[in-house]
Amino acid sequence: MNAHSAEINRILAEKELDGDCSVWRERFEGVGRGDVERALGQREGAYSLERLVALVSPAAEGYLEEMAQAARRLTVQRFGKTVRLYAPLYLSSYCVNSCLYCGFNKDSESQRCRLSVEQAVAEAEVIAGEGFRDILLVSSEDRGFVDVDYLARLAGELRDTFDSISVEIYQMTAEEYGELFAAGIDGVTLYQETYDRRAYRYYHPAGPKADYDNRLATPDCIAAAGMRQIGLGALLGLADWRCETLALAEHANYIIKRYWRSQVSFSFPRLRPAHEVDGLQFEHLVGDKNLVQMITALRLCFADAGLVLSTRESAELRDHLIRLGITKVSAGSKTSPGGYSHISDATEQFQIDDTRTPGQVAEMIKAAGAEPVWKDWERPIAME
């Protein structure tokens, strides 16, 4: 456990949100219509655990329309009628970890690939050519190749083209994140995957990522390094989504209170089919209705949080969800290194669902009455 982790650990342990959450599952069942209506009547955008319990309860499933309307209203107030677009760029699929849900699992017979900095720049040029100015660099845990120096060199090459460069990679120290920030990388996405310790242990049997406490402490390191954007999330399907939502919210609330300079965003990755991953082993898959409930409940509790949705979801569902509070979407994504410029046949990390081109996704956003935003307008102000 690193120096930062004690407090968030204590919070989750005291509230019994790091286990199987039996206490909370009983609480959900006890929520009635009156509790949901009271929660909906409270100031929009204000967080309390009690309020969130009501909004994610089974009783609130009867109020999804009201929740959706309120979430939409609040999002337009805070973010305007805009949806930002980004694209992921995969750098390596060699991994030292054994996450059971992932096609890059070190034990899987995947075809793997590493991009040199020059190859990654070529991929980024394809992405830029599609209009993107917001790029997410993604890598498996391949420290020997995708190290701080590699990422800093790549960021240096991309800085003039992209307004926002963020990473979704293995856990680093605060010092390493500081070096990335100095190189022009201003955001880090790091999912806890699951806040349930037992499920975490099961799904992460080996490798550095098997350390739950270290994982939980890492967003502190990201924020301490001054990163402007911190993306949090749970991989939906590994444990009870209602309990995951409570723990995720407590984690976000803790980060927001402690590190005022960083903006927190939530992602909602649902498990997708992946190479050598048997979908039947997952007992907690989340349906569309509950995904809508989770997204709108978090919006109603966190007015200023970015809400991010990837191409894991179907076109039809994404068309619907961008009207309910989503502020950022990926488009035209490839989930294997070299996927944009077709320089390899590497196995993808997971299958995407929405296969539309970036242009088609932008048209969909316009048809929904919003403006697709390719550029991160905040950066010049934030970087001064």
Distance CA 127, CA 143 (A): 25
- Angle (nearest 5°) at CA 329 between 72 and 82: 45
Closest CB to ligand SF4 among residues 57, 105 = 105
Q: Cβ neighbours of residue 357 under 8 Å, at least 6 residues apart?
A: 130, 331, 332
Q: Cβ neighbours of residue 183 under 8 Å, at least 6 residues apart?
A: 151, 152, 155, 156
In the bound complex, what is the minimum distance in angstroms from residue 240's beta carbon to ligand SF4?
Answer: 21
Closest CB to ligand SF4 among residues 125, 211 = 211
In the bound complex, what is the minimum distance in angstroms from residue 189's beta carbon to ligand SF4?
Answer: 12
Distance CA 183, CA 181 (A): 5
The DSSP bridge partners found for residue 94 are none
Tokens 């498990």 sit on residue: 271
DSSP H stretches of helix in the chain: 5-14, 22-30, 33-41, 49-56, 64-79, 117-129, 148-158, 174-182, 197-203, 212-224, 241-258, 288-301, 315-321, 358-367, 379-382
Query: Do the Cβ atoms of 307 and 328 come closer than 8 Å?
Result: yes
Tokens 């209009």 sit on residue: 131
In the bound complex, what is the minimum distance in angstroms from residue 274's beta carbon to ligand SF4?
Answer: 9
In the bound complex, what is the minimum distance in angstroms from residue 192's beta carbon to ligand SF4?
Answer: 12
Longest CA–CA separation in the chain, Å? 59
In the bound complex, what is the minimum distance in angstroms from residue 100's beta carbon to ligand SF4?
Answer: 9
In the bound complex, what is the minimum distance in angstroms from residue 97's beta carbon to ligand SF4?
Answer: 4
Distance CA 139, CA 97 (A): 12
What are the φ/ψ torsions at residue 372 (nearest 5 degrees)?
-75, 130
In the bound complex, what is the minimum distance in angstroms from residue 56's beta carbon to ligand SF4?
Answer: 25
Closest CB to ligand SF4 among residues 209, 299 = 209
Residues lying near ligand SF4 in the complex (CB under 6 A): 95, 97, 99, 102, 104-105, 140-141, 209
The DSSP bridge partners found for residue 309 are 329
Closest CB to ligand SF4 among residues 86, 104 = 104
Closest CB to ligand SF4 among residues 47, 282 = 282
Tokens 């805009």 sit on residue: 82
In the bound complex, what is the minimum distance in angstroms from residue 295's beta carbon to ligand SF4?
Answer: 22
Closest CB to ligand SF4 among residues 28, 104 = 104
Q: And the tokens for 276?
A: 């050598």
Closest CB to ligand SF4 among residues 59, 99 = 99
Closest CB to ligand SF4 among residues 56, 146 = 146
